[in-house]
Amino acid sequence: MALQSGTQLGAYRIVGPLGTGGMGEVYLAQDTRLDRKVALKLLPAEVASNQDRMRRFILEAKAAASLNHPNIAHVYEIGEADGQHFIAMEFVDGLTLREKIHRERTELRKLLKYLQQVAEGLSKAHAAGIVHRDLKPDNIMIARDGYAKILDFGLAKLIEPQSPKGSESNASGETATAILAQHSTPGMVMGTVGYMSPEQAQGKIREIDHRSDIFSFGCILYEAATRQKAFEGKDLLDSLHKIVHAPTPQIKDFNAAAPVELQRIVRRCLAKDPEERYQTIKDVAIELKELRREIEDAPEVHRTNPPSSSAVAQVSTEGEPTGINTIAKSTAPTAEVSAAASTQTSSSAEYLVGSIKRHKTRAFLILSLLAIATLAAAFGVYKFLNKNESRPATSSQMKVMRLTSTGKVKRATISPDGKYAVHVVDDAGQQGLWIRQIATASNVNVLPPAEADYLGLTFSQDGNYVYYVRREKVGGKGTIYQMPTLGGSSRKIMEGADGAITLSPDGKRFAFMRNDFNQGESALIVANVDGSGERKLATRKEPEGFETEGLAWSPNGKVIACSGYFVSGDDAVGLIEVAVEDGREKRILPQKWGSIRSVAWLGDGSGLLMSAADKSSGYFYQIWYVAYASGEARRITNDLNSYSDVSLRADSNTLLTVQGDAISNLWIAPNGDSSRAQRITSGKHDGNMGVAWTPDGKIVHASRDWDISILDADGSNQKLLTIDEHNNRWVSVTPDGRYILFESWRKSASATAIWRMDIDGGNPKPLTGQGWASDPKGSPDGRWVVYELNASGKTTLWKTSIDGGEAKQLTDKVTEDPAISPDGKLIACFYYPDRQNVKIAVIPFEGGEPVFEFDVDQSIRDKTPGWTADGRAVTYVLNRGGVSNIWSQPLDGGKPVQLTDFKMDRIFAYDWSRDGKQLVLARGTISNDVVLISDFR
């Protein structure tokens, strides 16, 4: 009988069903003792009474519990309560490898990374004398942090490690294993058809050892490369026959682009004779690692399908449930095939070959219904596609090809004919311009690295020239230049550009943005391509204005699409059109957006693509399609990368963009000593959205996955404090330790707000209302919260009561990222006197003009400042040459002092403990590369 939500089973409270595992039903449960989520695998009562089944249930727990490896799901406990036997296992939040291969259609490069991790985990198990015996894509989870975990050692058999004759030790832990008496019935097939080894398929249980897992691994590797099963038959018996007798299938028959070396690895894994296979899975892991290194520099081509937002199980083309982000994903049919027909009910880890004969009618009906459903679905898709044939949509066939692999690209654009891409490379703080010929992969540096920023990359309509804006690092307006596409002398066109430029369809004029902060005005300027005939097409006065990046001239030449910020309601940024004839403005998008960075028109003028951020994409830019007539917006990309600088080939079938990603983990540095820093987490986005100490020495952090967690200073006992409350970031802890403060963009809200919650995550409460609020800090007396508020494109500092209510503005200049001094009398912040160049300012807690101002390196922007424990200096992050370190600026005006001496990686966030003796940092890497996306329509 299914357990209901809220049912208590020993120390575990049932949350809901997850699926069916190798030996029984699986539920998501809450461990009330350790306050963590677990996957609870139950053994049905009718099976618990079967001694053989019960023995195997206990065997699974003992086998898996003996393993401790990051790529193996951990078993916490085997127990019994109220007559119900169970195993409490690690809850893995993610997708199965099957879903990654078939539903998301993940590129081969990433799949090889996951499978290398699987091989490492199997190596650990084999070294401990444990064979999985039911390895398949459904038993491999890819967690949200990108790590593969092997599940369900339900068919594992224990074999005792033994030293080879004449040897005093077993060096490998894998090669020397002696098979003990088996616990399976002779003649019984154990495993999953399609992934079992020949010895499993023939019921030769006495010959099954760790090399059987290697065969299964080869089947998965083949499926990852081809999206086809290696030994797919017309029925179950035909599949078994192919496993035993059919030759190794060729990857090239389904994927001609796959590396030749991969076929060799697969062929050796799938050798019929165990003696001819790899003898250790560790060897396979090593070869996969080498293969990944070899293809790292090759252009990356993969197909993507944005993940479904639904957590409801779906039926895949494999006939197995998919789409549940849990530890138990699907229930592929499994069987026990015996010489004597068995009447035992099958479990998800067993195949009953005889059951096919006993259920021919049922099988026929199921297949008939599936066929009818497939035809109906195909007809529906046909009708939908014909109805929407001119509208770009996210496609499972969307292909992405990586053009660069340096991770240092800042901006990029594609030529109208699609032959060239020009991109900016930022290396150690210096930027240079490169031209890449896409077909030949040749890459030429046409402008050497310099202390400058390059913006507004644009090709002429004939592709012969590249226009760009060069702006000096410190101050000054941007200057527009023209340069031959294949390199040569640049020609200065005109000064006074502040961002992107766009050319008219006839190539005779261009448009750009210019800001005049003294007059509080931003203007859209149009001029001839030789710099003459400049005129203001449209102007906006503070508090409204134009954004400098998103800008595109329509194909018919009548309007220019651009982004601007507004005062009405909680609008921050919207997409508008400006008529070229008279400068009249009109809103294109009715939605409210956090930011719009880049805009490109489809060639027929029916819509636009833009890189933008709203609350559904978090704080990271995704690529969107916007229908010009209706203003309907729909996402093209849907992942945790960030995309910028969208440009289109003339036929609008291929877009080019810069794909960005960041990897972050938490580190502890005693007394700020970087030589003694130790990493305490191993996720992907830990702390990159804020980190803070609690008074009792715990750490609160926010990740790019939008949730907030608390953990011990050694990285243990991590507890999730927010669950699916959408976007939560920039955490801090009030000095009294009562509350966690954070910024959140709730599903029902039109903008970000400041929230507080108890230190254990309870009693969440909003503290602010209108506007875009961020980066809260609590005062030492526990009464106030200071934060930044963006109102119509201008960010200033405010404060409100710890209980919310009326807020008070503290500054009228552009100021960001407040940090309250230990004595509560001062606030350090970033200060923009001209909206371009940043300073560190210190203002009174009650607000007003700065009492201290310090000129600093411009790379400190977007890094929240802090204070030393004695309150005599302000600390900040300085990035030089791609490496971040923390510096301090004494309030007495002394020279800045470098506090840390890291030699690599970036610092995303940091916080000092109350006594100043511990420093926690979120550190990692940032990678930005040029990618081509095709078949997105």
Give catalytic residue positions.
134
Residue 454 CA to residue 851 CA, distance in Å, equals 35
Sign of the alpha-carbon torsion through 225, 229, 231, 233? negative
Cα distances (Å, whole numbers) of residue 665 to 320, 406, 922: 36, 21, 5
For residue 654, what are the β-bridge partners?
934
Rounded Cα distance, 654 and 662, in Å: 25
Could you tell me the two tokens for 728? 């939560």
> Residue 535's beta-bridge partner residues?
526
Q: Could you write out the three-class secondary structure of 390-422?
A: CCCCCCCCEEEEECCCCCEEEEEEECCCCCEEE
Distance (Å, rounded) from C-alpha 912 to C-alpha 819?
12
Both tokens of residue 339? Answer: 């010489």
936 DSSP β-pair partners: none
- If you ran DSSP here, which 8-state letter would residue 99 be given? I
Residue 568 contacts by C-beta under 8 Å, 6 or more apart in sequence?
Answer: none
Whether the Cβ atoms of residue 797 and residue 773 lie closer than 8 Å to each other: no
**CA torsion, points 589, 593, 598, 604, in degrees to nearest 10?**
-20
Of the candidates 472, 467, 446, 448, the one whose C-alpha atom is nearest the C-alpha of residue 456 is 467
Rounded Cα gap, residues 130 and 66, in angstroms:
9
Q: Is the peptide bond before 392 cis (omega within 30 degrees of 0)?
A: no
For 184, the token pair is 């399976």
Give first-to-last CA distance, the chain, whole Å.
47
Amino acid identity of residue 847, one-letter, is G
| Spatial CA neighbour of 261 closest among 301, 221, 228, 230 | 221
Structure tokens belonging to residue 392: 């770009």
CA distance 510 to 505: 9
As a residue count, the chain comes to: 937
Q: How far apart are CA 501 and CA 467, in angstroms?
A: 8
Match 């894994």 to its residue by tokens: 269
| Inter-residue contact 463 to 415 (CB < 8 Å) | yes
Six-digit token string for 520: 């509080």
Which stretches of 498-635 are assigned E, i.e. beta strand? 501-503, 509-516, 521-528, 535-541, 545-553, 559-565, 573-579, 585-587, 595-601, 607-613, 622-627, 633-635
Q: According to the 3-state scheme, what is the secondary structure of 815-848?
A: EEEEEECCCCCEEEEEEECCCCCCEEEEEECCCC
* Residue 442: both structure tokens together: 């040749």
DSSP one-letter string for 596-647: EEEEEE-TTSSEEEEEEE-GGGTTS-EEEEEETTT--EEES--SSSEEEEEE
Q: Which residues pair with 452 in a beta bridge?
A: 472
CA contacts within 13 A on the Cβ side of 115? 35
Q: Which residue's entry shows tokens 């990603």? A: 661
Residue with token string 């371009």: 836
Distance CA 56, CA 64 (A): 12
Angle of helix 281-295 versus helix 210-226 axis, rounded to 10: 20
Pairwise CA distance, residues 445 & 449, whole Å: 9
